[in-house]
Amino acid sequence: MELILISDDKLKIMLSEEDMERYHISGDELDYSKLSTRTVLKSILSDAKSLTGFDTEGERFFVQLFTSAHGGCELFITKGEQDDFQTDASGEKKSTHARRTYKSLYSFESFYNLIAVCRRLLSLCTDVGSIAYSDVSGKYYLLLSHANLSPYTRLDKFTFVLEYGKRENTESFERYIAEYGNWMCKNAISTLGEL
């Protein structure tokens, strides 16, 4: 099982064919109205919580499942409030969130990786606020602030950043960077992306 914590509200779970056998599930047979599916999903989320801290206990969440040609599957778990999701005419779940701001923080081992990410984001995003920082250990950070109608678009826009760096906790970052870091530039995507 591979896990990618996309945000505080979204987790990607990749199950191999062996994982599917271990949990005794088949992508074609998963149906949340069945007790067996809910039990398996609870077990998967419990394992994911112990590895990533992503906790759905007592929360409403939405599950998207995509089966793979190799016998495994990918699950996208999105946490939301009770009325955050509604079904449209096609039967697809849509978010009913009002526009809100999300913050994502990434760290990079090299300045080159930070620049590479900013270059790619420059061609993808026009509505994203960005600030770059560095710290005393030689790491670089990119704090992204973006408003979306739906948290789902964050996956499409920012998943590639994990190829260059690592996702960090935004809550403790402000205290950390105040003591150990330096502010580099505001509008980092346009400033660094054009280097």
Q: Which residues are CB-contacts of 31 (< 8 A; sequence separation ≥ 6)? A: 37
- H-type alpha helices, 5-159: 17-22, 35-52, 111-124, 152-158
Supply φ then ψ for residue 15, to 5 degrees.
Answer: -105, 130
pLDDT of residue 41 exceeding 60, the answer is: yes
Q: What is the mean pLDDT of residues 143-171?
A: 70
- The answer for 15, left when phi > 0, alpha when psi is -120 to 50, beta otherwise, is beta
Q: What is the mean pLDDT of the chain?
A: 78
Check residues 35 and 188 and name the one with the higher pLDDT.
188
pLDDT band at 28 (very low <50, low <70, confident <90, very high): low
Q: What is the pTM of this model?
A: 0.47
Pick from 4-8, 75-79, 171-175: least confident:
171-175
pLDDT score of 118: 92
pLDDT score of 177: 83
- Tens-place pLDDT, residues 60-108: 888 887 777 777 888 888 887 434 444 444 455 444 444 456 678 899 9
Q: Where in the chain is the domain with CATH 3.30.70.1950?
A: 100-193
The residue with tokens 């979204």 is 10
pLDDT of residue 187 exceeding 70, the answer is: yes
Return the CATH number of 100-193, one of 3.30.930.10, 3.40.50.720, 3.30.70.20, 3.30.70.1950.
Answer: 3.30.70.1950
Half-sphere exposure for 46 (CA within 13 Å, toward CB): 7
Check residues 131 and 128 and name the one with the higher pLDDT.
131
pLDDT score of 194: 87
Contact 5, 158 (CB under 8 A): no
